[in-house]
């Protein structure tokens, strides 16, 4: 880190620090008190912290410790004093971290330009903190929103703050608690000038991979939070695909807990499926419940929660006119899982096919692996297509290859095959869809028979595989030069006079279908 800049705040700020830090003692000589205070103040000025963190939930704590470990002194503030005291007494002990118990004190403890990371619940709480900070900050100071904020909120905040002289960065942070502490994938968006003010810090705290830190300037406005939103949508798809593979192997092939562990451990050694999500799935199968000695995963209620980013992705894709059926299926699967009592009741009334699997288990496992990989390619292809459309629509200028690169480490969807995605966009920056990249195209062409057999087997045995099926439908729809929507257009024209185009001549046409002279 370079030499620390020493900045002397305005006199009123200095006196506010004195008043906040060292209350007067009535039995102490004024001159002596002032000398002590001035000494403390001088030390405070010279020891101004490089970075501030607001919000000390686990992600905020871990990012603060990550920043400090990489050589940047940190100031922290949390609305709850108890939380601050606990952090300082335990995890921050012996580290270059100071606590503040008011926003005024917090802001005064930071060197200029101030860099403040806000790690609180998305939505109105972020707006509230920004409004509290604005009168305390000076031109050139920086607010960084590291939560899962909706990208349109970030767009609005950038437009509101930049004209006042304050910088604003909306930064997606992926990697969970471990990533925040040891190196996350970071997706910052805002002005380039704002990013330049934090680049020397974020490149140090991000996960480090073979070709650099897992952070890059994503683009202006809400670009960073947009990419994080789609990242989470891909994550939804990935998790659902893995769950479907597990369901098939457990409830169709009859694999027990140890066998499932072996399969996932083996898959995690392959170039295609080596990833964080496969890795943690493998680890999950090593855990037994302490009381019952049963596999812990089998004791968990099958109702998945969601915080909204997957739903945002699907809604935005519909608005943008981009097909992301795998991600949509994953969101729907979580919604279906949430109506547990209703499903339990339905299971007593509705029955499926009575067939059982009687084939080669080992061969079936290999086919499920192939189906998982092909479906995974489709899920990423959908996410990257959505980012590409948003980049064009919102003038974000997003580099898709660089986006894939920063997901290689630190984040939840990190996987070895991201190298292939980066290479595909490096070789062809204008690539319309990942399915057309030579390596991915050949992979699916070689494995599609196994993929189709798995989806068919699931249908025959009554096992829902919405994400596997949606991915296959996406592939089959994308590869066909003619789809049945010619009939859809005819229907729309019939009941609503919406018109249609023809394949044999130019122009826009309408037919009075009920009165058409040429009838069969």
| 307 counts as catalytic | no
Would you list the DSSP string of 95-121? SSEEEESSHHHHHHTBPSSPEEEE-S-
> Measured over all CA atoms, what is the biggest interatomic distance in the chain, rounded to whole angstroms?
109
Which one from 228, 367, 376, 420 is the annotated catalytic residue?
A: 228
Element (H, E) at 363: helix 361-394
Helices 257-267 & 361-394, crossing angle to 10 degrees?
A: 50
| Catalytic, out of 68, 235, 244, 272 | 235
Preceding omega of 113 cis (within 30 degrees of 0): yes
Q: How far apart are CA 196 and CA 217, in angstroms?
A: 9
- Rounded Cα distance between 502 and 507, Å, is 7
Q: With contact defined as beta carbons under 8 Å apart, do 450 and 310 qualify? A: no
Give the three-state DSSP class for 416. coil
> What count of other Cβ atoms lies within 10 Å of the Cβ of residue 22?
14
Residue 8's DSSP bridge partners are: none
Angle, alpha carbons 365-414-427 (nearest 5°)? 95
Say if CB 230 and CB 236 are below 8 A apart.
no
Is 159 an annotated catalytic residue? Answer: no
Contacts of 143 (CB under 8 A, 6+ apart): 116, 118, 130, 133, 137, 161, 166, 167, 168, 169
**Enzyme catalytic residues:** 228, 235
């Amino acid at each position: 880190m370079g030499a620390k800049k020493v900045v002397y705040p305005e006199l009123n700020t200095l006196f506010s620090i004195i008043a906040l830090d060292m209350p007067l003692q009535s039995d102490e000589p004024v001159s002596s008190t002032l000398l002590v205070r001035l000494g403390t103040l001088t030390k405070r000025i010279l020891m101004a912290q490089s970075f501030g963190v607001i919000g000390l939930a686990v992600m905020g704590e871990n990012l603060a410790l990550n920043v400090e470990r990489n050589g940047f002194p940190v100031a922290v503030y949390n609305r709850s004093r108890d939380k601050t005291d606990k952090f300082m007494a335990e995890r921050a002990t012996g580290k270059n971290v100071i606590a503040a118990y008011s926003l005024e004190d917090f802001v005064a403890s930071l060197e200029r330009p101030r860099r403040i990371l806000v790690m609180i619940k998305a939505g109105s709480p972020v707006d509230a903190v920004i409004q509290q900070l604005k009168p305390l900050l000076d031109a050139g100071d920086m607010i960084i929103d590291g939560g899962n904020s909706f990208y349109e909120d970030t767009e609005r905040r950038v437009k509101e703050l930049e004209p006042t002289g304050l910088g604003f960065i909306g930064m997606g942070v992926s990697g969970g608690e471990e990533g925040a502490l040891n190196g996350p994938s970071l997706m910052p968006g805002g002005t380039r000038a704002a990013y330049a003010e934090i680049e020397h810090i974020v490149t140090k705290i991000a996960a480090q991979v073979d070709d650099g830190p897992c952070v890059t300037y994503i683009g202006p406005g809400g670009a960073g939070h947009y990419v994080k939103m789609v990242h989470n949508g891909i994550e939804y798809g990935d998790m659902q695909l893995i769950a479907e593979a597990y369901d098939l192997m457990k409830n169709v092939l009859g694999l027990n807990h140890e066998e499932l562990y072996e399969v996932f451990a083996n898959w995690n050694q392959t170039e295609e499926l080596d990833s964080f999500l496969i890795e943690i799935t493998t680890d999950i199968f090593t855990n037994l419940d302490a009381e019952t000695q049963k596999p812990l995963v089998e004791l968990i209620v099958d109702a998945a929660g969601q915080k909204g980013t997957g739903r945002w992705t699907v809604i935005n894709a519909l608005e943008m006119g981009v097909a992301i059926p795998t991600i949509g299926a994953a969101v729907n699967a979580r919604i279906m899982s949430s109506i547990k009592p209703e499903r339990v009741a339905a299971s007593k009334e509705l029955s499926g096919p009575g067939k059982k699997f009687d084939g080669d288990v080992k061969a079936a496992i290999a086919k499920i692996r192939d189906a998982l990989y092909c479906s995974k390619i489709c899920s990423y292809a959908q996410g990257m297509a959505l980012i590409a459309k948003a980049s064009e629509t919102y003038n974000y200028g997003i580099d898709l290859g660089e986006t894939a690169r920063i997901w290689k480490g630190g984040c939840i969807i990190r996987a070895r095959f991201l190298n292939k995605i980066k290479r595909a966009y490096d070789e062809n920056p204008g690539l319309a869809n990942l399915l057309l990249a030579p390596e991915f195209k050949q992979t699916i062409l070689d494995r599609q028979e196994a993929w189709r057999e798995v989806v068919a087997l699931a249908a025959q045995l009554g096992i829902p595989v919405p994400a596997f099926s949606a991915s296959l439908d996406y592939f089959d729809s994308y590869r066909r030069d003619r789809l049945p929507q010619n009939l859809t257009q005819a229907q729309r024209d019939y009941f609503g006079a919406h018109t249609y185009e023809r394949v044999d001549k130019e122009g826009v046409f309408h037919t009075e279908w009920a009165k058409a002279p040429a009838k069969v």
